[in-house]
Amino acid sequence: MIGFYDYTVILTYISFASAISGIFCASTGHLRWAVFFLAFSGLCDMFDGKIARTKKNRTEDEKSFGIQIDSLCDIVCFGVFPIIICYKLGMHHLCSMILLIFYGLAGLIRLGYFNVMEAKRQNETDEARQYYQGLPITSMAIALPLLFIVSPLLHSHTAFQVMLHLVVGVVGTLFIVNFKLRKPTTKELIVLVAIIAAAVLVILFAWQSWWKFVLSLKKM
């Protein structure tokens, strides 16, 4: 069979399947489930590299395949998939769609550049990368769930739309801005995962209660 199917790429494949499931949900109006699948894909992406590096005898073909398949998966999970969610959330006017195209293109450029530089880096060293060059495309798997959580604090649908456009524009721009971002430590990663997991659980199972709670705070 063509391809590689060992444990080093299994999380990448699961992430892709999660994103496709989320696209189905977004297309049928189940946006809360779509956000869940986006966050789950992000969770898989956080750990796929760590798992891959546990296999010390990877061949050069396996390493190159890992780089390519990870980026191909990322453009679907964190490029195309968030665009569909944002479109269904109301970004369907001309200016909004242009912004979404920019977001997708910025993500594509970032991943293409990453593939070139990562292949070069792995030929020079076996050490794990210490810094991100620009904002990781996975960041949208954090930004959108958090925006959902704070949305009850916004005073109107218009305010939510403004915030949504800002998030897409800022995150997309940071994909291609050349700056170094330190990779989180394992402890920081666990905290981040816990925050996103809590946000997703609220979105899925306690949304109405959360909304009422926030409204009660506004009235105080």
Per-residue model confidence (pLDDT) at position 119: 73
Q: What's the CA gap between 202 and 197, in Å, rounded?
A: 9
Please check whether residue 145 is in contact with residue 203, taking contact to mean a CB–CB distance below 8 angstroms.
Answer: yes
What string of DSSP letters covers 39-104? HHHHHHHHHHHHHHTT-TT--HHHHHHHHHHHHHHHIIIIIIHHHHHHHHTT--SHHHHHHHHHHH
Q: What's the CA gap between 69 and 77, in Å, rounded?
A: 12
Per-residue model confidence (pLDDT) at position 8: 80
Per-residue model confidence (pLDDT) at position 128: 67
pTM above 0.85, yes or no: yes
Mean pLDDT by 10 residues, the chain (220 residues): 82 95 96 94 85 77 84 96 96 96 97 84 70 91 92 85 96 94 84 86 81 67
- CA nearest neighbour of 166 among 147, 149, 181: 147
Name 72's Cβ contacts closer than 8 Å, sequence gap at least 6. Answer: none
Q: Which domains does the chain have, with CATH numbers?
A: 10-219 (1.20.120)
**Counting beta carbons within 10 angstroms of the beta carbon of residue 87, is it exposed (0 to 12), middle (13 to 18) or buried (19 or more)?**
middle
Tokens 């995150």 belong to 171
Per-residue model confidence (pLDDT) at position 200: 86
Q: At 129, give phi and psi (nearest 5°).
A: -65, 135
